[in-house]
Amino acid sequence: MAQKPSIPKGTRDFGPFEMARREYIFDTVKAVFKLYGYSPIETPAMENLTSLLGKYGEEGDRLLFKVLNSGDAFAGINPEMLQNSNSLSLKVCEKGLRYDLTVPFARFVVQHQNEITFPFKRYQIQPVWRADRPQKGRYREFFQCDVDVIGSTSLLNELELIQITDEVFKRLGIDVTIKINNRKILSGIAEVVGHPEKLTDITIAIDKIDKIGLDEVKKELLERGIDQKAIDAIEPVLNLKGTTAEKIEAMKPVLEKSATGMKGLEEISRVFELVQLAGVVQETELDLSLARGLNYYTGAIFEVKAKGVAIGSICGGGRYDDLTGIFGLPGVSGVGISFGADRIYDVLTALDKFPAESSSGTKILFANLGEKEQEYIVPILKKLREAGVASEIYTEVAKLKKQFDYAEKRSIPYLVIAGESEILKGVLNLKNLATGEQVEITPAELIARFL
């Protein structure tokens, strides 16, 4: 019995219709990246597991797809290793699928440091993999569109990423809220509540506030060893309302005994000043509950939410001061932001914001009525393609009804018919399949019409 075809949960096939829409997203994002001077790179789907483990926090480690070594991978495993999943993984798996594009980028920068010019501005559009539970808007394989600049501490880089975000979503026709915070502020909060060593635990818990709510976050903080007094001090910060300026002023007395926290307030204040000067159109706000649970963030952090669609963040990122240090090049600061192409696709679908373009990309289909007609059409078809007009000929000689149906199913907007009478007159019959309009036109007029 033949095996029923299937794909792993959390992955998807994309047909021509979906790919046309996905390429619209990729092309829009890529055009903005290039506009701001960023250059493309690519890295392998697999990285050495040692490059990935420990970079994303304990939850991130659990979501890594690990690639089993070839041969007898479990030979020589002793019972003690079974108690530690990371130790076991490193023994039986030398490689893992990349969890994001940022850590591989840091590895790339260190490995190619003598070939690149700093500050180095790169973009990268590739798939990543996470062993997560599949659900709406969350997949095990998905594309990220990353843009980063490394080798500069200037806050102008943060501004540029916000401007890029603003421009991308303006072009896509999506209204968003750009939420901004600073990990130094969160570090300062951890300090003033007496738990500087628990910053990671605090940020991991706070990062879930949109998903599980404040009460569950407080419960998790208790489970992570944060005492009730500290939680009571953190709660008002998470509930703080008002304008960005009002929030910053309210936080100054809270963080006045933390130099790190005050530095974070200074940085975030400057970022918002620059945002105002730059005339960013999309809504921006200071969200003190924004934590971004990844361990490597050290400064500004960003998250973007679409308005009018119940879905998680569609874009996020932040500054990392020493991510390259883990690969032997300390003190190189970078900042980046990642656009989630799959969630953006879902948002555009929900809002019906995709442009009304054909799924195939083909503008014109030539009907095939026989050999004589083929000989008339082929040279015209060649000239159309040379002029950049996507066009094709129905390859089989068939009834016109069948060829009409083919064009409609492929969403090809125009059908050209050239029969004996058209050939004698040196013209073509052009039919608009959407309106039903039909006109006689010369080959030269046809080409000029679609340029």
What is the residue-averaged pLDDT of the chain? 91
CB 271 within 8 A of CB 180: yes
DSSP 8-state class, residue 337: E
Sign, Cα dihedral of 371, 373, 376, 377: negative
Phi-psi region of 410 (alpha: psi -120 to 50; beta: other; left: phi over 0): alpha
Q: Which residues of 292-325 are buried (b: 16+ CB within 10 A; e: fewer)?
A: bbbbbbbbbbbbbbbeebebbbbbbbbbbbebbe
Give the number of other CB atoms < 10 A from CB of residue 7. Answer: 9
Average pLDDT over every residue of 301-310: 94
pLDDT tens-digit series, residues 210-237: 788 888 888 888 888 888 888 888 888 8
Range with the poorest average pLDDT among 256-270, 350-364, 420-434: 350-364
Per-residue model confidence (pLDDT) at position 210: 77
Burial class (CB in 10 A: 0-12, 13-18, 19+), 398: middle
Looking at residue 76, its pLDDT comes to 65
Q: Name the residue with higher pLDDT: 253 or 86.
A: 253
pLDDT, residue 322, reads 85
- Residues 444 and 273: their CA atoms lie apart, in Å, by 56
Q: Do residues 107 and 51 lie in contact, with contact meaning Cβ atoms separated by under 8 Å? A: yes
**Between 32 and 79, residue with greater pLDDT:** 32
pLDDT of residue 368: 97
- In the sheet with 391-393, reading across from the earlier edge strand, the strands are 391-393, 364-366, 414-417, 428-432, 438-441
Looking at the predicted structure, is the pLDDT value of residue 85 above 80? no
Instruction: Write down all domains in the chain, each with its CATH number in brackets.
Output: 364-449 (3.40.50.800)
Alpha carbon distance 30, 47 (integer Å): 25
Q: How confident is the model at residue 75 (pLDDT cuts 50, 70, 90)?
A: low
Closest by CA to 160, choosing from 288, 280, 322, is 280
The pLDDT value recorded for residue 357 is 66
- Cα–Cα distance measured from residue 190 to residue 233, given in angstroms and rounded to the nearest whole number: 10
On the question of pLDDT at 359 being above 70, the answer is: no
User: What is the CB neighbour count within 10 angstroms for residue 358?
Assistant: 17
pLDDT band at 137 (very low <50, low <70, confident <90, very high): low
